[in-house]
Amino acid sequence: MSKYKFIDLFAGLGGFHLALEELGNECVFASELQYELQKLYAINFPGTPIVGDITKIPVNEIPAHDILCGGFPCQPFSQAGKRLGFTEDRGNLFNNIMEILEYHKPKYVILENVQNLKNHDEGNTWKVINEKLSVLYDVKEKILSPHQFGTPQHRFRIYIVGRLKNEISTAPLENFKFPEPQHHECNIKSIIDESATDFMHLRNETRNHLSIWQEFIDELYKHGGKLPTFPIWAMEFGANYEYEDLAPAFQTSDQLYGKKGKLGETIKGQNINESLSYLPIYAITNKNKKFPTWKIQFIRRNREFYEEHKIWLDKWLPKIRDFENSHQKLEWNCGQEENPSIFDKIVQFRPSGIRIKKPTYSPALVLTTTQIPIFPWIKLPKQSLAEGEIINGRYMTKDEAATLQGMQRLRKYPETIPAAFKAFGNAVNVDLVKSIAQKLLSHEPNRQSINCTSAKCV
């Protein structure tokens, strides 16, 4: 494969750099807004010029290149964010990409973003991006995840590739195909280092929450029940406030007074705000007069579940009364088992609840330390234990997160665990990008070997 020159925009930890460099290409320019990541990039890729704010660099000062790479900021389009898209400044950074493409006309473009980009604003955001790129490039896109190719991480992202149109062909990607997803049996244990000592320890409170929810599971099966397919919202156990026809926020305090709220507590508020304080946090919303169908179904099913099991649930419920809201929810994503246990599964504390999943692949790495995956079964090295600490269970380490993203080859990661996971959560997956780039850069038969195809190359 010929050696191409590429630029790495919104570079972060350098996922695109790693992928393309391993294919024999040369990075001639990089940009990254965060100063700490700039410093790390210079350490990991010495000799590559890196700048900060790409919007402050005139396009004619960017070196000529054959490939433009960029994981342009995804927060404006993410389901986890405000989803403002092009109305937010960071969303407009796509226009900076277009300015560079229009000036330098590199032969290839490879972009990555959250999968929600495709459906954002009812598809209008992607329509604008595709139309702008398609003026110069033949464009293809696909939503892929590393777990589809054997890497134990569930992380769907949209990958966008383009090939410069020319007088010979306006559809040079006509025969290009993305790597085809395969059925892989992933095992998270393949990336775990049980001898690791550099990890975030589980708090006693966290261990207690897991033990109490395990008690819930044990009692359920002891009494002939099974874990339901819907998420468990324990706040609905014992509740009877009205919710189907009119959301509580649009009811009067008289309508709510005397009813049962979260965990069966009697509503005694003297005004609507006081009354709403007795309800689960998800029931307080005033966005719409009627709850969405999915929420109505979850509330109904949890109340039915409580009525079926209230004899033993009433004895268990006081144990979670002081849990924060999201910890009073359980999402069991493991199917049915004879003797289900939390302690041989991957655990993640999410805003939507405590999620339990099989130890196959990790959930997508996210930016907050509270959502780092927990491996409860791991036996901790004795030298890592604090006094009185239980020997089993810890959070994922920085090294393990790096391996999931294909970045174990980096010389240096961010120093702290929060900074590292934030960076890994924003990064592109090296192995998947490499697989896509390899197909893209080698799909043309009889391609002449050249150093730089940009219109600005000399």
Question: Which domains does the chain carry?
Answer: 5-183+411-442 (3.40.50.150), 204-396 (no CATH)
- 139 Cβ contact list (under 8 Å, min separation 6): 130, 133, 160, 161, 162, 173
pTM of the prediction? 0.87
pLDDT of residue 171: 86
Alpha helix (H) residue ranges in 59-178: 93-104, 124-134
Distance CA 397, CA 379 (A): 14
Residues assigned a catalytic role: 74
pLDDT of residue 5: 97
Q: Which two tokens stand for residue 451?
A: 């150093």
Query: Could you list the pLDDT tens digit for every one of the 458 residues in the chain?
Result: 579 999 999 999 999 999 999 999 999 999 999 999 999 999 999 999 999 999 999 999 999 999 999 988 745 444 444 444 445 454 478 889 999 999 999 999 999 999 988 888 788 888 889 999 999 999 999 999 999 999 999 999 999 999 999 877 888 899 999 999 987 789 999 999 999 999 999 999 999 999 999 999 999 999 999 999 999 999 999 999 999 999 999 999 999 999 999 999 999 988 999 999 999 999 999 999 999 999 999 999 999 999 999 999 999 999 999 999 999 999 999 999 999 999 999 999 999 999 999 999 999 888 778 899 999 999 999 998 888 888 999 999 999 999 999 999 999 999 999 999 999 999 999 999 999 999 999 876 434 333 444 443 33
Tokens 């199917």 correspond to: 335
- 66 Cβ contact list (under 8 Å, min separation 6): 4, 5, 6, 25, 106, 107, 108, 452, 453, 454
